[in-house]
């Protein structure tokens, strides 16, 4: 617990993707490892009476432009994916299945690879073929992962993860918890580092 950093993200979140390309380095700098928690923004937006960013007037247009611009500023490979946004239940369950079977580090590798598949290569990870290809490229058994995602155990684990995230105060993607402090947004990663510098032993 003391030496981890909890990283919450939705697989359809561009800023979540961008953060996923930096979170390992940040954790390493702080002497921590990353816990990868895929979440579903849908239930959270319901609680907030909110909507997907790109569907909000004024803000949506800005966001689409800012995704590409931010990626460019930070030299992160990015393509505007289509369709967007997408359903992320399958990708989230697949990540949790790998976590249960192979541990957190492998789950993180799959999560990063899936985000890249969608946001760097533009392949739709709401569909199993793209998830299969990505998992297989990591040497994982894609068929077996897909089977696991059909089980109640994995389905319930995702629900539990999302519920616990919301109870903790997570309402967007990406969200980083370090000790008892939560930080929302790709642009808050520098704040995580500043906070740790001031507050860590």
C-beta closer to a second copy: residue 143 or 163 = 163
Residue 127 structure tokens = 């569909």
C-beta closer to a second copy: residue 108 or 182 = 182
Q: Measured from the CB of residue 115, what is the shortest distance to a second copy in angstroms?
A: 21
Q: Measured from the CB of residue 70, what is the shortest distance to a second copy in angstroms?
A: 7
Give ∠ CA 114-54-173 in degrees, rounded to 5: 45
Q: Measured from the CB of residue 174, what is the shortest distance to a second copy in angstroms?
A: 13
Cα dihedral across residues 16, 74, 177, 154: positive or negative: positive
DSSP state of 176: E
C-beta closer to a second copy: residue 66 or 133 = 66
C-beta closer to a second copy: residue 33 or 50 = 50
C-beta closer to a second copy: residue 3 or 198 = 198
Number of CB atoms found within 10 A of residue 64's CB = 15
Cα–Cα distance, 55 to 64 (Å, whole number): 10
Cα–Cα distance, 54 to 31 (Å, whole number): 36
Q: Measured from the CB of residue 188, what is the shortest distance to a second copy in angstroms?
A: 7
C-beta closer to a second copy: residue 69 or 159 = 69
Strand pairing report for 181-184 and 4-9: unpaired
Strand pairing report for 4-9 and 175-178: antiparallel
Q: Measured from the CB of residue 198, what is the shortest distance to a second copy in angstroms?
A: 7
Q: Measured from the CB of residue 182, what is the shortest distance to a second copy in angstroms?
A: 7
Residues that bind a second copy (CB under 8 A): 44, 47-50, 56-59, 61-62, 66, 69-70, 72-73, 166, 169, 171-172, 181-182, 184-185, 187-188, 190-191, 194-195, 198
| Residues 185/177/139/155 CA torsion (nearest 10 deg) | -100
- Among all chains, which residue has been given the structure tokens 């979140």? 13
């Amino acid at each position: 617990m003391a030496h981890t950093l909890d990283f919450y993200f939705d697989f359809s979140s561009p800023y979540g993707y961008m953060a996923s390309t930096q979170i390992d380095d940040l954790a390493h700098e702080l002497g921590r490892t990353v816990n990868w928690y895929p979440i579903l923004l849908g239930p959270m937006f319901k609680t907030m009476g909110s909507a997907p960013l790109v569907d909000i007037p004024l803000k949506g247009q800005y966001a689409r432009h800012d995704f590409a611009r931010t990626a460019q500023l930070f030299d992160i490979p990015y393509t505007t994916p289509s369709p967007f946004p997408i359903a992320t239940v399958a990708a989230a369950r697949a990540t949790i299945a790998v976590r249960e079977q192979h541990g957190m580090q492998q789950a993180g590798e799959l999560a990063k690879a899936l985000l890249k598949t969608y946001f760097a290569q533009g392949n739709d990870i709401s569909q199993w073929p793209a998830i299969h290809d990505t998992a297989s490229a990591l040497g994982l058994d894609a068929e077996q992962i897909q089977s696991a995602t059909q089980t109640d155990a994995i389905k319930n684990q995702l629900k539990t993860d999302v519920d616990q995230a919301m109870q903790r105060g997570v309402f967007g993607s990406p969200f980083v918890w370090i000790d008892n402090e939560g930080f929302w947004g790709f642009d808050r990663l520098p704040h995580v580092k500043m906070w740790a510098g001031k507050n860590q032993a």
